[in-house]
Structure 1
Amino acid sequence: MHIDQQISHNLRRIRKAKGLTLEKTSELTGVSKAMLSQIERGVSSPTVARLWQIANGLDVSFSSFISNESSPVENLNNATVSAIHSLENWVNDDLYVNVIFPFEASVGFEVYELGLKENYEHKSDPHNIGVIEHVICISGKMAVYCDGTWHVLGNGQAIRFSGAQTHSYKNIGNGHAVFHDIIYYPQNHN
């Protein structure tokens, strides 16, 4: 299933599971009822920032919108092999997102592989309080903006920071920058 279809399906599923109308979902997320309806019908594709806004408003993980429901045992023999050249996981022309492990309440985190095209900067709005991000540069050279400063990462280098602040990821090298992002949610998070 293409990422847009996955988002559409999961938004509708999450909203109905919480017993919410589009109007109530709009109130909680700050996203218009019309836009939510368009996303659910697959007519509109939300930006990453808009999807985070919806996730925060509904108090769910980001990966709950872009992942398939899966079995409790997952075989990830190729987890270290980047699938960055697969077109279906590119959110836009500059940002690649692949869910390695979707959010699971029993462990409280989700794991992503992200790719940034050369010179691309992705800005992220603050997440809910208590969310901690762990960024590990897998290849390329990148910088992470948090706590008011840029932190440069090369292959194998990592940083941990509070996701409850505006933060950015920027490719500052040649070619793609690929990194893993482990996002921890506090125990009261769904």
Structure 2
Amino acid sequence: MDGIRKVVAGNLTRLRGSRGLTLSRLAELAGISKGTLSALEQGNGNPTIVTLWALADALAVSFGALVEGADTSVPDINEGVHVRLLAREDGPPRLESYLLTLEAGAVREAVGHGLRVDERVIVLQGQVRAGELGATRMLAAGVEWTFDGARPHLYATGDGPATLLVMMRYAVAEARA
């Protein structure tokens, strides 16, 4: 976990500084406490997928911009969910690929990403229910599906684990002040 903490701390501090945002303003935009943000920038916090997505949305950057350079996966606040950045291309369009692993019975709910993003999923192993809330599909190994990642969506496994390749194609957006 120390490696991801250092990477997130450096990327977060650099991105916040390049946008001229104070700790207080970024915390407000992201909907997290100033103490949590401060701990993350000092490399002392526990970065989770949910917190990092909130910060990425507030900075109008991709999730990958915050974890690029990490050699490990990021845990979710829910047990049994991990994501690891595999590749990132700033484009346009901005493209990112992730390895998403879910243990048996794991659920990853996302409120939707603030940037317009198409989320393409290829199930590498196991089965997973994935997609926009209210329009999910059960996907088996070898199946590929694309949905609107800007809308609330989920990934959920049943009795067994699943491994997915998740590719995201972002629309270009400007940072908020």
TM-score tier after normalising by the smaller chain length: 0.7 to 0.9
Q: Distance in 1 between matches of 2:99 and 2:115?
A: 23
Kindly indicate whether residue 96 of structure 2 is the aligned counterpart of residue 125 of structure 1. Answer: no
Counterpart residue number, 1:74:
none
Compared CA separation, residues 158 and 189, structure 1 to 2 (3 A): farther
Per the normalisation by structure 1, the TM-score is 0.81
Contact 1:61–1:103 (8 Å) recurs in 2: no
Contact 2:73–2:82 (8 Å) recurs in 1: yes
Aligned-pair identity (%): 28
- Equivalences for residues 18-57 of structure 1 within 5 A: 18-57=19-58
Q: Distance in 1 between matches of 2:167 and 2:68?
A: 15
Kindly indicate whether residue 134 of structure 2 is the aligned counterpart of residue 148 of structure 1. Answer: yes
Contact 2:49–2:74 (8 Å) recurs in 1: no
SS across alignment from 1:2: helix
What is the CA distance between 1:129 and its match in structure 2? Answer: 4.8
Give the superposed CA RMSD.
2.2
Compared CA separation, residues 66 and 166, structure 1 to 2 (3 A): same
Counterpart residue number, 2:162:
177
Q: Distance in 2 between matches of 1:45 and 1:132?
A: 28
**Structure 1: which 4+ aligned runs deviate by more than 2 Å?**
187-190
Per the normalisation by structure 2, the TM-score is 0.87
Q: Distance in 2 between matches of 1:143 and 1:170?
A: 5
What is the CA distance between 1:23 and its match in structure 2? Answer: 1.8
Q: Distance in 1 between matches of 2:62 and 2:115?
A: 13
- Aligned positions, number: 172
Q: Which runs of 5+ in 1 are unaligned?
A: 70-85
Kindly indicate whether residue 167 of structure 2 is the aligned counterpart of residue 166 of structure 1. Answer: no
2:123 aligned residue (124, 137, 159): 137
Contact 2:23–2:38 (8 Å) recurs in 1: yes
Q: Which runs of 5+ in 2 are unaligned?
A: none
